[in-house]
Amino acid sequence: MTRIDDMPSAWDERTQLTTFLDYARDTARAKCEDLSDEDARKAPLPGSPLMTMSGLVNHLRWVEYYWFRVVLLGEEDDGPWTDEDPDREMRIAVDLPLAQVLDEYAAQAVHHRELVAGHDLGTRARRTTGDGRHVDLRWILLHLIEETARHNGHLDILRELIDGRTGV
């Protein structure tokens, strides 16, 4: 996996935000390079049975779906989670080939790049957050950069525990 450089090609706000989100996405996928399906399903942290490489990448995929499609656009929430199983996106990933999880995440990123390009950064979300606020697209992009970067740290730890591989 070749990551894009994290240095934006331009210095306007949109380019900086989208470049950093793409960089974080590419980093998550790079953490999974040359990983077998069996290793992607391992949960090496005894207190965190859902913390698998495939589970975290699938979580990132569905987090983006939720913030862009459900919150920003106001679409119906067709995510895999339920009230009884709020982390189901992480649980079901162990039943999928890692390549499928990575391909779906990458394909969705393409769609979300187009969605972001078609909206002003100040576009208010159609749905409110849990505290009743209408965030804007700028906030959503910042949140997704933070969320993806945080989980990249988890992916680093898991990968090192699984096969000793460390990243940059």
Q: How far apart are CA 160 and CA 165, in angstroms?
A: 5
Assess contact for 69 and 137: CB atoms under 8 A.
no
3-state DSSP call for residue 107? Answer: helix
pLDDT score of 151 more than 80: yes
Q: At 139, which amino acid appears?
A: W
Say what the pLDDT of residue 1 is: 44
Q: Rounded mean pLDDT of the chain?
A: 94
Could you tell me if residue 132 is left (phi over 0), alpha (psi between -120 and 50 degrees) or otherwise beta?
A: left
Tens-place pLDDT, residues 108-134: 999 999 999 999 999 999 999 989 999
Query: Pick the residue with more confidence: 90 or 6?
Result: 90
Please list, in sequence order, all residues whose beta carbon lies within 8 angstroms of the beta carbon of residue 46, skipping any fewer than 6 positions away. none
Fold of 13-163: Four Helix Bundle (Hemerythrin (Met), subunit A) (1.20.120)
Q: 46: which 2 tokens?
A: 């005894």
Tens-place pLDDT, residues 13-44: 999 999 999 999 999 999 999 999 999 999 99
pTM of the predicted protein model:
0.93
What count of Cα atoms within 13 Å lies in the side-chain half-sphere of residue 113?
14
